[in-house]
Amino acid sequence: MIKLVKPEITINNLLYPLPICFFLTSWEILAHITQTPLFPPLSKVVIEFWFLLGDGILLESLGSSLIRVLIGYSLGSLAGLLVGILMGLNKVVERSLSPLISMLFPIPTLGWLPLLMLWIGINEALPVTLIFICAFFPVAYNTLTGIKGVQHEYIKTARTLGASPWFILWHVTLPMALPNIFTGLRLEAGMVWRTVIAAEMFAIPTGIGALLINAESLIRVDVILVCLVLLSMMCTIFERMFLWLEYKTTGTWR
């Protein structure tokens, strides 16, 4: 016989949605009081969301941005992970690349935009390259920091027991460096969306960024708010995805 467990209701669970409900209610009330087209009510934004969704414009724009994010973020994170591992395991590589990374890392990602527009041109490679740069440096730095933070005693013990370098990397070094690696991945999950939106607003005629800038030119505040809410949702989904992946991965390695 299956025993049903009654979910525990706590004060924290009840208070959690209150700020959001208060914000949304205040938004609707203030919009009806002010009656200005620059501050549409929440109900109008919701209606516009369903219209754009049914018309296919929202999904098409989101799809364009999502593909760019996935390609650039995957390539940049993978390259950053490999470079960070090499720097963490080899002192010669670290001494060779650390000055270059330290010099380029502080440059804001969007600072590369004018130069890349001249080098690459205005095409699909532009936002992907920007996202690659945005993801590469933080992931490389956090991977290096995580590997350098592994206590040498664990590595020494594994070597004493006859473990191979590959075994030590896979079962000792990387599991202990994972928290730092996932921190870099999570932090950049939001930054890459900001980067692709900025690139689309300035140089690419498709995507959520292009939809935003077109809505601004038409003074469609409701469309702008729809895009902003959608971006917030995507950033939250990416962050939660990496939290889940971190939990599953660290649990498997442990």
- Kindly state whether residue 10 falls inside one of the protein's structural domains: no
188, part of any domain: yes
- Name 140's Cβ contacts closer than 8 Å, sequence gap at least 6: 79, 80, 81, 83, 84, 87, 101
CATH number reported for the structural domain that contains residue 84 in this entry: 1.10.3720.10
The pLDDT score that the predictor gives to residue 74 is 94
- Check residue 119 and give its pLDDT: 92
Q: Is residue 7 part of a domain?
A: no
29 vs 42, 50, 54, 199, CA distance in Å?
9, 21, 27, 35
- Distance CA(248)–CA(80), nearest Å, equals 22
Using alpha carbons, select from 146, 110, 115 the residue that is nearest to residue 130: 110
Q: Can you give the pLDDT of all 254 residues of the chain as single tens digits?
A: 444 444 555 666 666 677 888 888 888 888 888 888 788 888 888 888 898 888 888 999 999 999 999 999 999 999 999 999 999 888 898 898 988 988 998 899 989 999 999 999 888 899 999 999 999 999 998 898 888 887 777 777 777 777 777 777 777 777 788 888 888 888 888 889 989 998 998 888 889 999 999 999 888 999 999 999 999 888 888 888 888 887 777 665 55
* HSE-up of residue 240 (Cα within 13 Å, Cβ side): 6
Instruction: Evaluate whether residue 4 is within a structural domain.
Output: no
pLDDT recorded at residue 224:
92
Residue 133 falls inside a structural domain = yes
Establish if 6 belongs to a structural domain.
Answer: no
Structural domains in the chain (count): 1
Within a domain: 17: no
- Expressed as residue numbers, the domain containing 65 is 49-253
Say if 21 falls within a structural domain.
no
pLDDT at position 13 is 62
| Residue 131: per-residue pLDDT | 94
Tokens of 21: 């409900």
